[in-house]
Amino acid sequence: MGRAARDAGGRITGADLLRYLRDLGWRDVAWQPPPAKAVPPPVAHASSTPPAALDPSRAESLEEMARSLADCRRCRLAGSRSRVVFGAGSNRARVLFVGEGPGAEEDRQGVPFVGKAGQLLNAMLRAVGLRREDVYIANVVKCRPPENRDPQEDEAAACLPFLWRQIELVDPAVIVALGRVASQFLLGTKAPISSYRGRWTSCRGRDVLPTFHPAYLLRTPSAKAAVWADLKLLRQRLRDG
Ligand code: URA
């Protein structure tokens, strides 16, 4: 058989063979390509495509939201945190405290305000007749920023929808913003906290009392008098109902 009956790779194809035979004068030969092999349809592996992720900002309960955030990767903080620190306390608290973000101990335990600042917060609560279990405690960001730096704008933007939803679900009578960072993101201000702390203000239709962060109090004991005044405002508001 000559070169004309071979394909580019040197293989003889059915069409080439037919052309070759016809060239030789065989007029009555017909060539049918072999039937295509039946290829089984691809098998759908249920586990290969994860189900669409629940949007936690639409979660129906705090538990559901906590579950769906447990492996959150929405911002770079996911790369350095040990645990997502979702929030803790009573689901029906009248007071919701907002801090800035977990520290080292919170990152280890997965619970907000359990380090030194947390112990001082507990003492502040006791001073106005509240127990930790009576209030709800959350943070602007739910993962520890490396070296306890301030959360960056994009990190806070990724996390805030979940704080808004926590606030909706707990539905507290009042919110206490602990420190500059929490106040900045709740109230949308970059003014120094000393210019507005201790005055009731509002966020999303809720009363918010900004005060100093317990960690600041640990560094600056002279600020205790101001925080005590703020706590008395809180106590009065809770008594007034
Ligand atoms: N500081 C915060 O702002 N939040 C915590 O959870 C702990 C310390």
- State if residue 100 touches ligand 1 by the CB under 6 angstroms criterion: yes
Q: Is the dihedral of CA 166, 145, 103, 183 positive or negative?
A: negative
- Rounded to the nearest whole angstrom, what is the distance from the C-alpha of residue 81 to the centroid of ligand 1? 14
- State if residue 107 touches ligand 1 by the CB under 6 angstroms criterion: no
- The pLDDT value recorded for residue 34 is 42
Cβ neighbours around 160 below 10 Å, total: 16
Backbone angles phi, psi at 151, to 5 degrees: -65, 140
Q: Encoding tokens for residue 221?
A: 């004991």
How confident is the model over 112-168, as pLDDT tens digits?
999 999 999 999 999 999 999 999 999 999 999 999 999 999 999 999 999 999 999
**Domain membership flag for residue 50:** no
CATH of the domain at 109: 3.40.470.10
- State if residue 101 touches ligand 1 by the CB under 6 angstroms criterion: yes
- Rounded to the nearest whole angstrom, what is the distance from the C-alpha of residue 64 to the centroid of ligand 1? 23
Amino acid at 158: A
The C-alpha atoms of residue 146 and residue 79 are separated, in whole angstroms, by 10
Q: Sort strands 136-139 and 174-178 into parallel, antiparallel or unpaired.
A: unpaired
Question: What are residue 12's DSSP bridge partners?
Answer: 6
For residue 182, the enclosing domain spans 57-240
Backbone angles phi, psi at 43, to 5 degrees: -85, 130
**Domain membership flag for residue 20:** no
**Domain membership flag for residue 228:** yes
- Is the pTM value of this prediction over 0.85? no
Cβ neighbours around 67 below 10 Å, total: 14
Tally of domains in the chain? 1
**Domain membership flag for residue 202:** yes
How confident is the model over 65-88, as pLDDT tens digits?
999 999 999 999 999 999 999 999
**Ligand 1 atom closest to 178 (CA):** 3
Helices (H) and strands (E) in the chain, counts: 8, 6
- State if residue 97 touches ligand 1 by the CB under 6 angstroms criterion: no
- DSSP codes of every residue in 183-204: HHHHHT--S-GGGTTTS-EEET
